[in-house]
Chain A
Amino acid sequence: MAKANMTPERNIMPTQEPSVRAHNFDEVALGYSEETAIDEAMRCLNCKNKPCVDGCPVKIRIPDFIEEIKKGEFEKAYEIISASSSLPAVCGRVCPQEKQCESKCVRGIKGESVGIGRLERFVADWHNTFSVDVPSSLSSNGHKVAVVGSGPSGLTCAGDLAKKGYEVTVFEALHVAGGVLVYGIPEFRLPKTIVAKEVDTLKKLGVKIETNVVIGKTLTVDEIFDMGFEAIFIGSGAGLPNFMGIPGESLKGVYSANEFLTRSNLMKAYRDDSTTPIMKGGNVAVVGGGNVAMDAARTALRLGAEKVYIIYRRSMEELPARLEEVEHAIEEGIEFSLLCAPLEILGYNNPDDPRDPQNGFVKGMRLIKMELGEPDERGRRRPVEIEGSEYEIEVDTVIMSIGTSPNPLIKSTTDGLEVNSRGGIIVNEDGLTSRSSVYAGGDAVTGAATVISAMGAGKTAAEAIDKYLSK
């Protein structure tokens, strides 16, 4: 075995040039080559106590898969990852690794941590390019489990249970499987062919996917039990977009990030041949600082906006988005208006002509500057308005990206299913809800969070369901 690569910096991820990618929807990060992957793997010291594994919500055996990369055994590396993760190609792209596995990496103390996420992505892409999944020869254990929602938590739960021999049916409200991976995360960050491939892998494991079924409407939880399912996992996500409650939010040109991204991603407005309408061009203000806000801002830019602002009330340090997305957004020319908050969205109104077609469209935004005050109960410094600092900017489109709330459809049609004050389903440490045999996880429980934490919850619930049904 060759000696460890002690270069303090990690191998650079090749990307499309910012000036080019700002005008297309192709993937931004291009992925490591085999040589680069092996070179990066050599930076792993394979330390004894494996702190990185503790940082991973699904406990992937990280040093073990990296060891296989060092040997060029990419398929073996894939097997190690897929034993813990049902969606490796997705996680390698969308996990906030710098806050998870990579934050614990020993190499990060005196330099940059090993590019674990990039290596995971490399392995998954290598597998998807060169390997053929053999149809599973698993025999059914005779138990039927239903999964509600085909987003990250549902797909993970379904995959883990299918591998254990359960007959799993996933019910999806939309016309295509993938949940937020399909309607929310844009093509340039997570190509939809990758999501489709991961879904196909699950189908080969025997998972059935029923699209166009809204649980709480088409079928209720009780009816699912009547159909012979013995346990249900609810991974219905945090569907309902939040608005700020400021004047002007109903003007034409104000979108929730969900609507804007759904029009572009799910309804394909990003394609030139699409008939889905979406406001393009002009100045765009995106309110919020999370990953969804970055996705919306960069989507608006690619659709042809002249100027795109991120409006965030705290500073760069508190910005909750994944580091790489923020860096990419800055490189592409997104303007970060930090420490400011919207007070009002201003609309056009022609007093002389009530039939002026421009009436009722957004023309600007009134904001106020903020400063950081005392830390709140979570330790984050609270933004405080600076008196007299109001100002206006000219914008044509406003995208509200200030979080989402769990969808009440299931709660309102399921007796005995308890939720907290924010609408999140209450679960115990196994993911079990207040209804027996009903489990839940992901954003439906926590409110808007990350893909990987949802996957972790799907995994926990799958283990608990297995334990419960094999009693």
Chain B
Amino acid sequence: MYRIAKKKSLNANVIEMHITAPLVARKAKPGQFIILRVDEDGERIPLTVAGTDAECGTVKIIFQIAGATTKSLSLKQEGEYIQDFVGPLGIASELEDLKKVCVIGGGVGCAIAMPIAEALHNMGAEVTSIIGFRSKDIVILEDEFRSFSDKLVIMTDDGSYERKGNVTEPLKEMLSNGESFDMIITIGPLIMMNFVTETARPYGIPVTVSMNPIMIDGTGMCGGCRLTLNIDGKKVTKFACVDGPDFNGYEVDFDEAMSRSRMYNDFERHSYEDTCNLLNKEVN
């Protein structure tokens, strides 16, 4: 059993929790994820690590209430326990040697983008952040992004806060004005990451995307998280849980990934995968 050391709401639907799991806290790095079960017979859901406190032995997770499991997790209070918490899984984001980076987050994906911006900032890199949300009332982590970014652009779909439009618009402006980056790191709905990649393509800037497909065990056993990469004209199957979650955006077969993410949309009664995959939820 793993204790909920701290809990707070970031908006009406997004919650931050700090879970006591010293072994995970000691190891987890930005880009890695954990898998948890709220209670016995509960589902296994993957959530990306949003931060750690090795001294307190806690791991920070940020999740959106999107289905049965995240709902029941959201009902747990500080001091209560969850059944299982395992990690850190996946490969940490490779940030070494990056001097100038554009971090682009969409929706609850910003919870994953934020620790990456933080790590880059602490490394001394110049960070430009572009974060997008549907509307003003679901904007999260603005203060954090502001303190870790040299430049921050906030976009809302409906224009209810800051600039109206998609995250690709300011990116396109910057690139066409001659601005360049060592890398663009983007985390959010598949469709958004696909468009960010296409926006960057003419400029030849490396794009790293964070994939969060359907998965069960998180150790490579089930193969449910497989995705296809096109590497030098050859199709290669990779498992997001052990080979990722970060991939080269130019290599990812996004059409296939989007199709696979909808595999269980018909299983309305079965909320498992929908709950599991917060980012895909954003697409719908």
Contacts and interface: CB of A to CB of B under 8 A. Distances in A.
Interface of A: 173-175, 183, 211-214, 217-219, 239-241, 243, 245, 249-250, 252-253, 255-256, 258-259, 262-263, 266-268, 275-277, 357, 359-360, 407-409
B270 interface: yes
Contacts of A258: 221-223
Given A243-B237, A250-B260, A252-B262, A217 B221 contact: no
A267 B43 contact: yes
A155 B69 CA distance: 32
B226 A250 contact: yes
Interface stretch (B48-56, B79-87, B93-101, B179-187): B79-87
B24 interface: yes
B271 A275 contact: yes
A212 B221 contact: no
Given A217-B89, A218-B27, A240-B223, A357 B272 contact: no
A214 B222 contact: no
A141 to B, nearest CB: 27
A212 B89 contact: no
Interface stretch (B105-113, B120-128, B132-140, B212-220): B212-220
Contact of B265 (A183, A218, A219, A357): A357
Contact of B37 (A175, A240, A259): A175
A268 B40 CA distance: 12
Contacts of A214: 86-87, 89, 219
A357 B266 contact: yes
Given A275-B270, A276-B272, A277-B267, A407 B220 contact: yes
Contact of B259 (A211, A252, A255, A259): A252
B119 interface: no
Contacts of B221: 183, 239-241, 258, 262, 407
A409 B242 contact: yes
B222 A252 contact: no
Contacts of A268: 41
Interface string B203-236: 0000000000000110111111011100000000
A263 B216 contact: yes
Contacts of A255: 223-224
Given A240-B220, A258-B222, 20 more contacts: A175-B44, A175-B86, A212-B86, A214-B219, A218-B23, A218-B87, A239-B219, A241-B221, A250-B226, A250-B256, A252-B260, A252-B262, A262-B221, A267-B44, A275-B269, A275-B271, A276-B272, A357-B266, A360-B259, A407-B221
A365 B23 CA distance: 46
Interface in B6-51: 23-24, 27, 37, 41, 43-44
Contacts of B83: 175
Contacts of A240: 220-221, 223, 239
Given A175-B44, A175-B86, A217 B27 contact: yes
B66 interface: no
Contacts of B189: none
Contacts of A259: 216, 222-224
A276 B89 contact: no
B152 interface: no
Contact of A409 (B23, B44, B220): B220
Contacts of A277: 264, 267, 270, 272-273
Interface of B: 23-24, 27, 37, 41, 43-44, 68, 83-89, 216-217, 219-224, 226-228, 237, 239, 242, 253, 256, 259-260, 262-267, 269-273
B270 A409 contact: no
Central interface residue in A211, A259, A408, by most chain B CB within 10 Å: A259
Contacts of B265: 357
A275 B222 contact: no
A217 B88 contact: yes
B237 A359 contact: no
Nearest to A212: B86
A241 B86 contact: no
B220 A276 contact: no
A173 B86 contact: yes
Contacts of B272: 267, 275-277
Contact of A239 (B37, B220, B259): B220
Contacts of A245: 237
A218 B33 CA distance: 12
A249 B223 CA distance: 11
Nearest to B271: A275
Nearest to A219: B23
B284 to A, nearest CB: 12
A245 B228 CA distance: 11
B86 A213 contact: yes
A358 to B, nearest CB: 10
A352 B27 CA distance: 50
Contacts of B237: 243, 245, 249-250
Contacts of B44: 175, 267
Please name the 4 residue pairs, one residue from A and one from B, whose CB atoms are nearest each other, closest first.
Answer: A277-B270, A259-B222, A360-B259, A212-B86
A359 B256 CA distance: 11
A219 B21 CA distance: 13
A241 B260 contact: no
13 contacts: A175-B37, A211-B84, A213-B23, A239-B219, A240-B220, A240-B223, A240-B239, A243-B226, A259-B216, A262-B222, A266-B216, A275-B270, A360-B260
Contacts of B23: 213, 218-219
The winner among A174, A245, A409 for most chain B CB atoms within 10 A is A174
Contacts of B85: 212
A256 B219 contact: no
A217 B87 contact: yes
A310 to B, nearest CB: 20
B266 to A, nearest CB: 7
Nearest to B2: A212
A357 to B, nearest CB: 7
A189 B177 CA distance: 66
Nearest to A268: B41
